[in-house]
Structure 1
Amino acid sequence: MNLTILTLEIRYEQDVVLTRQRARQIAELLGFDSQEQVRIATAVSEIARNAFQYAGGGTVEFKVEGEAPQNLVVDIDDRGPGIPNLKMILEGHYTSTTGMGWGIIGTQKLVDQFQIESVVGQGTKVLIYKKLPKKAPNLTSQRLDRIKQEFEERSPQNPFEEIQRQNQELLQAMAELRKREEELMQLNRELEDTNRGVVALYAELDEKADFLQKANELKTRFFSNMSHEFRTPLNSVISLSRILLAHMDGPLTTEQEKQVMFIQKAAEGLLELINDLLDLAKVEAGKTTVHPSDFEVSDLFGALRGMLRPLIAYNSSVALIFDEPVGLPTLHTDEGKVAQILRNFISNALKYTEQGEVRVTAMMTGDTITFSVADTGIGIAPSDGERIFEDFVQIESELQKRVKGTGLGLPLSRKLAQLLGGDVSLKSELGQGSTFFASIPLVYTGSNTTLTLPSPTWQVDPERFPVLVVEDNDETLLIYEKCLQASNYQMISATTVNQAKQALQRFRPVAIILDILLQEQNTWSFLAEIKDNDVTRHIPIIVVTVIDNEKQVLASGADEFLIKPVDRLLLLTKLDTLVKQDKLQKLLLIDDDLASRYVLKQLLTNTSLHILEAANGSEGLRLAESEKPQAIVLDLNMPGINGMEVLNQLKSNPVTSAIPVILNTSKPLEGEEQNYLAKNCVAIITKQTSSQAEASTQLRQALVTAGLILNHN
């Protein structure tokens, strides 16, 4: 459908005023609200004024096109000399002493669609599109006749009345801005009250946390005895899922994002099953490494007693008794694997014993120590004595329905005992209880092959801060690399303590990320060595591991402690805090829009950043060179020197080339422009956010990526 409402000729200057009046009247009759009426009238009058000023006149046609939805279309034609610099004007690069081009750029922002064609020597054609309001009825021939009749009844206003009307619109806009400013101030006051309430709540939570400390210590002791080899692959799945969901390597489709979330939830839910499955697979494939060491049976029992205390709390009618070993020699075998065998035996005994006791003993038989775990539980039938050592087998019973298990603990215990040169056995009677035995040789006689690795080579980027990562898991190293990419930090990896020492001899990192449990050794002594050395003691160390032993880590000299899998934003924040603590941080805002700069400052009111402002590109370049800020937030569309030119000059100047730049724009980016900006900016954020919370989160993540510390005042 194409219905013409009105056609006007522009011959004299007062025709421009008449065009503005008619545009507002048509918008009102079509159902647009007062604010949209002003936008449409302003856009049409700007283009009409251009036609009169540069082409000596033209025609303006108002019409409605389309079915559902319908659009108000304003067609403005002239037969003037055309616009020779149209492309530069549309890109915002053209500078004119007469103001030519600003009307075109401003009109684009006021309407839904804007099309312009200009041929030098033949004239210019402009099409302005505005969707009709949803609540307005469709324009039909009958409704068009009524609109035309109303036009005839409305006499045009004189230019003086039109100026009065524009002044009233300006006053209304100023009043609306003042009202919004008051609402913002009120919101700030409410946020301050809320913050005080949150502080009080945190204080109360701290008090409650003291009462939970003992329970937390029990949990910590239990997890501290679990090998990091079991949990690392699962942590990698969870961390890689986070990387995908954070869109660090590109956007996901809605379906892909849903699938990745399912992967992450499944990984978290299958933690227990995966632990046992990985152990079994490694033993059967011969890939489990035995790390023999000297230890006493009494020390082993003490660790198990503390580790299994939480299980006893759920069944107070069962006593867990460790008979004190007397006269037993020191064992030389893998203490962790012996502990895992006994832990499986004891946890099963506690599950299937409703009352009575579970007794753990050890005795010497030749060159072997025989451990036994006896219970007064439901017992096992002779026919099932061997079946329970098969994978996934669980014996049917009333108690079995109430307890949780995978059927992998006992098969794993047998394989671990055989790996150490021993075996497991069972003695049981239905209704009377069971006794599980594990015979372990005093001395492990197997051998491990040690690979000699070539010395690694490191290439340090002079424009980034080197961070030494001491970690032996490939998936975890990939995660660290993803976490540090697009930041000021460069990852330098070392998979052994010897490699880490070589790295410290060749360069001085700004921080060290350290895993306590490497495949061949732990790094406690390495941590102590760094802190005892006058040359390296000032280097901040962040310990990231699977064992929750924060107190021991911090007491050993580490500066921070994190649990795997680590969150990217948290890791960058810790690095920034340690590397740049007590340093004044300057943030430069380059934006010609005062309101946009005000909004950014409000989002950062509770940080310690020193904020500098530049109202145009020239001023921003001057401040960047003189103040040398830690980061720059740059708008793309600005008069004079636009954001793209500012970015080019920043990167070509040796004084400012290393300053991280965050692009803040409402302009859609496509193709080569998007690729160029992504390479030269640490982050790209949009002004078109749905909420203040989303805007704040987006800005803070970008600033942390740029290397700033967002400590609260």
Structure 2
Amino acid sequence: MALLVVVIISLALIGSIAFISMSRVNNLALKNVNVLGECAINDSTSALENLGAQIIGQKAKDVARQCEIYIKSHPGMTVADLQASAEFQEIAVQPVGETGYTALTDYETLACRFHKSPKLVDLDLHTLAQKLPGFWGVMEPTKGGKISFGYYDWEDPDGSIRNKYMYITPINAKTADGIGMHVAATTYIDEFLNPIVEIEDRINSVTEATRDSMDEQANYMQKIFIGSIFGILFTAFLIASLLSRIITKPIIGLAKSSDAIGRGELEQKVVVNTEDEIGELADSFNTMAIKLKNSYEDLEQKVSERTRELAIANKQLQEASQAKSEFLANMSHELRTPLNSIIGFSEILQEKTFGDLNERQKRYVSNIHTSGKHLLGLINDILDLSKVEAGKIELNYEEFPLKEMLSECQTLVNTMASKKNISLGFKVADGLSTINADPTKFKQIMYNFLSNAIKFTPDGGTVNVAAKPENGMVQVSVKDTGIGIAKGHQDMIFEEFYQVDSSYSKQYKGTGLGLPLTKKLVELHGGEIWVESEPEKGSTFSFSMPLRAEKELIEAPAVEEEKVSIKEEGRPTILVVEDEKQASELLALYLEEAGYQVVCAFDGVEAIEKAKELKPSIITLDIILPKKEGLDVLRELKSLPETKDIPVIIISIVENNELGLSLGAADYLIKPIDKKELIRKLGDFGFATKVKEKPVNILVVDDNPKDIELMTSILEPEGFGVIKAYGGKEGIDLAIEKQPNAIILDLLMPKVSGFEVVHRLKKHPKGKDIPIFIYTAKDLNEEEKQSLNDNVISIMQKGKYSKEDLLKDIKRVRKLK
């Protein structure tokens, strides 16, 4: 009996140990399953929430930049004008993800100005403060144009409450009626968490099923255990041994495997070689581990896909930025071409080349010239900025005296400073003599600093420049007594198009491009730029750059002195190669006024032919030409024995000085050109700069003597010599013999018509360069106009053109005055 008691006690003890171990394993396994599932869900939720917030914030900034550019490019538009603009509506209200959108609000009154729902436009958002306190908590801090972001609960039309994320950023521009706005981008957070919700459901389902299975198995084992106690009374030691082998060892293995799974080792399997309940429990563990592993891999895949989508979106943003820079560079070139004519012709009018101007005309021409120069400066800034961003700008390093360079910069701004009675001071530390840098870019940096300092300094103030060496660098500071800059704006003034306050843009004209360009030019030299300022006390703008450039100095190749050929009659002949007719006409005006004989070529092939035929004293060459590129023309001219000694000056919008000079160009000028600089360059080659001009003769060809007499009465009082021809054949003969400066031609003539006259003269070497004006009573059809357009200067209708119109048309060609 004692032995049975001992056996029963032993069995009870062993059973209790087994039961406690099994319960512990069960609880531990359930705990680890729950912890693993919650960790996986929480980590993934946090990752996707952060990714979603970044996407929403970036969208708000992108829309703010687009709105800023539109408002600045339409400075006269009010909020009402913008609300009426469908184009601006598309910019202001854009989708964010699948369910979100952007909206614009007034950051002073916090009233909604643009929204996808028309009924919310002009809604005062203060009215939502009590109903939606979370929304108001994100919106209220933005008053005054500040940035805010955060999560809030939003009530949908069906009454359900869903969580949203909103990012609010200001637009750095105000409307014409002084309204400042910011962009609010918002969307539902669960849009980014849908993958997590699906996986959470699956994990909870697996966990719940596992928990039920384990509870069921535990209950079943408890019943087996109680029944076994009574049955084992007859075979105590055998049952105790079997229980130790069948229950204890598998449960210990199950516990170890459960711990491994809890640590995230989802490949771990429970190895139990039994077909009883423990084996089934082990199978349940293995099934659970497989499902958890699959769910975790699925979650990782979805996170990876979202990460890849963000990477693609980031790449697209970079490509868009690159495309913007290239677009700006190309558009700037296109804009500089017509500006060349605007500035050049306005200069000619100011010089009274075609007669005196009254005071109003002088004022208007001066306004045209000044505005053209201002626009050219803006376009040059845009071009330089876009070239820096696109990585296409190169620095031409030279060693130059710093003191002399600063003196040149002072000369550039002296007039600007004297108008405001501002005192300029320059101080260079002893021992600081020369610097290796790009002199043109250095001068541009200094000019931007100095012009800004003068612009924002009141009348009677001071601007001081100081330069000193600092650890192998040169440090230059420009200190003014101007209006100063608040600390919160000091980092932002180096951003493109940014201005401290929109009211400044009205009082102090500017585009916000000067400082960003200056910063990029300084950084391109390997330096840095910074500002120290205090409102109402002034600012100190400083930059530093290496005294000795690390790059190898780029020097322009030496150009041998060219031989100069002078025509016997003393008028040097210049071949102008330019495909733009206005630019060609402008150059011809410059050169003929200076006493040169000018011949024009409008493509590369024609340029080479005329150079070989005429052997001009000098050639001006554009780079961008039809039929044959300018650089190819230069190569061929320098390879031909009859043209290799003719000096070639490249005049082009394209900045490629090094290549042009290396191919043999005598000099390189960038459009728009300065007339005085061009004439000075020609003087450097030894040309006579002014000779007595020959009288201007015009051949009038018409079969009607009355029309010829009328034309003579108009032309002779204006100082023109008139050659008369009363038929087409006579006109051709006189044109070849007399070589007039221009021809006025009727089309309706017997025997040889005006069309035939044009055709024959343009094929004759001595007649092809004579300008022809058509003056006819014939109504031309499109085919006839097309046949004449490339061969005549203009087509004038008899009876419709006044004397003034006629003279204006004639005088606009070169030197017909």
TM-score (norm 2): 0.42
Higher helix share: 2
**Greater Rg, structure 1 or structure 2?**
2
